[in-house]
A = this chain, B = another copy of it.
Amino acid sequence: MYRMERDFSGLLAALKVTGEQVDVALGALLPKPAGLQARVQEAMRYAIFAGGKRLRPFLLLQSATLFGVPPEQALRAAAAIECVHTYSLVHDDLPCMDDDDLRRGRPTTHRAFDEATAVLAGDALLTVAFEILADAKTHPSGEVRARLVAELARAGGMLGMIGGQMIDIEASTQGFGVDEVILLQRLKTGALFEFCCVAGPILAEAGTQHENRLREYAGDFGLVFQITDDLLDVLSTAEKTGKAVGKDAQQGKATLVSLLGVDAARAKAENLAHAASDRIASYGGASSHLQALPPYLLHRES
């Protein structure tokens, strides 16, 4: 239904512009390869400039727009979250983890460099994210910077993304049901989305009520993202997504699609997309991209 009704051209244009702005910010914030340790800095740049959609930075910048956060502050936080996302991909691709040779159609970091460099580049991307957030350029208030650091550490840590990764590794040997799969996804991918969405009200010191509303949006958004990702894994081709498809099923991992079936999973995603958009409609026109994003995910092709 969404497919017919909506025009996503404004959203797509904004995604493109944001992606370019984020790439400029990342280019300036990451060190230029130099000196004896140039190799790890080259690997960091290789991993981060891999043609990603910059979805997390986009969410963060849109959340910041709702509250009038200065773009130069929001861009730094957006760069930080992209560093954390990228580090997680670099480590996730390692032979001891998912053992992927390709990501977005080109060699993964450990294939382009080597495993040791990939481990270090991931470690360095995680570390630099906190360095960016803690720098006074991100916000004049140390309290706000420390809150961002604490929030990102929780989102990325063992009760967030890393915990989700651990559960995901064990998932193939366990008979997960819907509740476990939802928990896994809330941690593995949802926690970083939540950071993106709550960064706006934190940077604006807008208070708990706004933070909670954005957290709820992020929760729904994250599940829509995951279900549509799982649908792509089942229905799409490697050519379109730029990565191997059908991997979850091969590894015996339960997903909401395998547990509920394609049609019910798609219906659930549509309901959640509605709910997410509704939660932030009261912010008016400033939230138009955030409102359009969940329905857009329903018919993405990569």
Contact of A162 among B94, B123, B184 (CB under 8 A): B123
Using an 8 Å CB-CB cutoff, how does the interface string of A80-107 with B read, 1 for contact, 0 for none?
A: 0000000100010010110000000000
> What is the CA–CA distance of A37 and B150 in the complex, to the nearest angstrom?
20
Number of A interface residues at 8 Å Cβ cutoff, please give it. Answer: 59
- Near B by CB (< 8 A), chain A positions 153-203 give 153-154, 156-159, 162-167, 169-170, 180, 183-184, 187
Closest to A135 in B: B150
Copies in the complex: 2
> What is the CA–CA distance of A164 and B163 in the complex, to the nearest angstrom?
29
The residues of B that contact A257 with a CB separation of less than 8 Å are: none
Query: Which of A140-148, A210-218, A259-267, A284-292 lies at the interface?
Result: A140-148
Query: Which of A39-47, A52-60, A65-73, A269-277 lies at the interface?
Result: A39-47
B166 and A153 within 8 A (CB): no
The residues of B that contact A131 with a CB separation of less than 8 Å are: 149-150, 153-154, 157
A41 and B96 within 8 A (CB): no
Q: Given A37-B158, A119-B91 in contact, is the A153-B127 Cβ separation under 8 Å?
A: yes
In the complex, whether A112 has a CB less than 8 A from a CB of chain B is no
The residues of B that contact A127 with a CB separation of less than 8 Å are: 126, 153, 156-158, 162
- What are 25 A-B contacts defined by CB distance under 8 Å? A35-B163, A36-B167, A37-B159, A37-B167, A39-B166, A40-B165, A40-B166, A44-B158, A91-B123, A96-B119, A120-B169, A123-B123, A124-B158, A124-B162, A126-B127, A127-B153, A128-B157, A131-B149, A133-B149, A134-B150, A141-B142, A142-B142, A142-B145, A142-B146, A145-B146
Closest 6 CB pairs between A and B?
A: A142-B143, A96-B115, A131-B153, A142-B142, A37-B163, A134-B150
